[in-house]
């Protein structure tokens, strides 16, 4: 992969961080996602669905709650962007067995932009002139299209922008506004406050993003304030809220007790408790992961959702997860 990247840079010049991420992660010949089993204890990182079945089950309850609140449509789709092994949707379908699913891969890359005395300049990846087999970051000599995504009142000196995510949010917002539905985003992220979050993971440890490309996962935190802006007011947004708050509101303590009461195996009980701690502990994933939702405006305004000329259902203004779930 390093040889391929250097040939590419020598041929066309320095590349954007977004292009670097796409090559390293998804290149069909050497891409990290193509040839490595990156999930689980033997991989480089672990995700919430891989930690405990409860995570996916509670998301299944969230979708059922929204389905009921919007009139119990007889046909709809569950779309998971970036499904990995499909563990999450499998857990959801166990809760809601009549659900149809559509799975799509979703590679999201970011552009890094830095404030300089000459204005905003994008960060590129180039070959280090001092060490022939080493990569380095450089600043673009002039303006690039990525700078158009910087807000005029931006106060941070370093900003990560993701046009690909903006396109996805725009399409989701338009679909939800026109035909109903909901989108739930769960990921590492912040609300427009962080700067340098671009990082690599190998063997569950931080890894230099420019060293041994193709052997480590590359990622960056989601800027939820950017997602909110890209919705352009077409739909309502909720969050971000911390994972431990969302899951507690969804009844994770109740579900854990049910599973513990049903199990007589000490190893299973220990696994359930360890998974709960990993998901909920603020020092682990409890405060690192966030939840963010897009919903029709009527869903929060107590209006009515018109299915057809003969049927309409009232909306409930409370959205599960973002306020405490009422068990009835």
Distance CA 242, CA 170 (A): 24
Helix segments in the chain, DSSP class H: 2-12, 17-26, 32-35, 48-51, 53-69, 87-95, 163-179, 224-230, 243-249, 252-262, 266-280, 297-301
Residue 313 CA neighbour count, 13 Å, CB half: 14
**What is the phi-psi region of residue 20: left when phi exceeds 0, alpha when psi lies from -120 to 50, beta otherwise?**
alpha
Distance CA 18, CA 219 (A): 11
Euclidean distance between the first and the last CA atom of the chain, given in angstroms as a whole number: 55
Higher pLDDT, 74 or 298: 298
Distance CA 78, CA 296 (A): 17
Range from 94-103, 188-197, 205-214 carrying the lowest mean pLDDT: 94-103
**CB within 8 Å of 109: residues ≥ 6 apart:** 17, 18, 19, 21, 22, 25, 162, 164
Q: What is the mean pLDDT of residues 175-183?
A: 92
Residue 232 CA neighbour count, 13 Å, CB half: 12
Looking up tokens 């509670």 gives 58
Task: Reply yes or no on whether the pLDDT at 97 is more than 80.
Answer: no
Q: Is the Cβ–Cβ distance between 204 and 14 less than 8 Å? A: no
Q: Is the Cβ–Cβ distance between 141 and 266 less than 8 Å? A: no
Q: Which structure tokens are listed for 134?
A: 């080493």
Q: What is the mean pLDDT of residues 51-75?
A: 81
Q: How far is CA 153 from the centre of its chain?
A: 26
- Please give, one letter per residue, the 3-state secondary structure of 230-267: HCCCCCEEEEEEEHHHHHHHCCHHHHHHHHHHHCCCHH
The DSSP letter of residue 285 is I
The predicted model scores a pTM of: 0.82
CB atoms within 10 A of CB 121: 21
Q: What is the mean pLDDT of residues 236-259?
A: 94
Q: How far apart, in Å, are the Cα atoms of 236 and each of 11, 163, 291? A: 46, 20, 14
Nearest to 45 by CA among 85, 90, 94: 85
Distance CA 118, CA 305 (A): 51
Q: Which structure tokens are listed for 106?
A: 């979703």
Residue 64 CA neighbour count, 13 Å, CB half: 16
CB atoms within 10 A of CB 151: 13
Distance CA 319, CA 300 (A): 8
Q: How far is CA 225 from the centre of its chain?
A: 13
Q: Which structure tokens are listed for 310?
A: 């003969």
The pLDDT of residue 307: 40
With cut-offs at 50, 70 and 90, classify the pLDDT of residue 48: low
pLDDT per residue over 108-155, tens digit each?
Answer: 789 999 999 999 999 999 999 999 899 999 999 999 999 999 999 999
Task: Reply yes or no on whether the pLDDT at 61 is more than 90.
Answer: no
Task: Reply yes or no on whether the pLDDT at 328 is more than 50.
Answer: no
């Amino acid at each position: 992969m390093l040889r391929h990247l250097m040939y590419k840079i020598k041929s066309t010049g320095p590349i954007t961080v977004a292009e670097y991420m796409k090559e390293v992660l998804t290149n069909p010949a050497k891409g990290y996602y193509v040839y490595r089993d990156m999930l689980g204890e033997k991989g480089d990182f672990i995700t919430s669905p891989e930690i405990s079945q409860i995570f996916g089950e509670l998301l299944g309850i969230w979708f059922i709650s929204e389905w009921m609140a919007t009139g119990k449509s007889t046909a709809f789709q569950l779309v998971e962007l970036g499904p990995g092994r499909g563990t999450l949707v499998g857990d959801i379908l166990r809760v809601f067995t009549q659900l149809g699913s559509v799975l799509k891969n979703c590679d999201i890359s970011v552009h890094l932009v830095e404030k300089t005395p000459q204005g905003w300049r994008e960060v590129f990846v180039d070959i280090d002139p001092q060490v022939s087999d080493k990569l380095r970051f450089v600043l673009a000599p002039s303006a690039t299209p990525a700078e158009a995504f910087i807000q005029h009142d931006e106060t941070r000196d370093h900003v990560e922008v993701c046009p690909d995510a903006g396109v996805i949010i725009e399409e989701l917002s338009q679909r939800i506004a026109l035909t109903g539905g909901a989108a739930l985003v769960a990921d590492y992220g912040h609300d427009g406050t962080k700067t340098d979050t671009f990082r690599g993971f190998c063997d569950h440890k931080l890894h230099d993003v420019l060293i041994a490309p193709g052997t480590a996962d590359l990622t960056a935190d989601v800027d939820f304030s950017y997602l909110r802006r890209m919705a352009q007011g077409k739909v309502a947004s909720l969050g971000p809220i911390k994972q431990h708050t969302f899951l507690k509101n969804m009844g994770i303590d109740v579900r854990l007790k049910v599973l513990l009461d049903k199990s007589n195996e000490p190893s299973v009980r220990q696994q359930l408790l360890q998974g709960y701690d990993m998901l909920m502990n603020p020092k682990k994933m409890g405060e690192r992961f966030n939840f963010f939702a897009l919903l029709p405006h009527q869903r929060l305004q107590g209006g009515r959702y018109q299915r057809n000329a003969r049927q309409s259902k009232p909306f409930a203004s409370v959205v599960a997860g973002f306020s405490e779930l009422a068990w009835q």
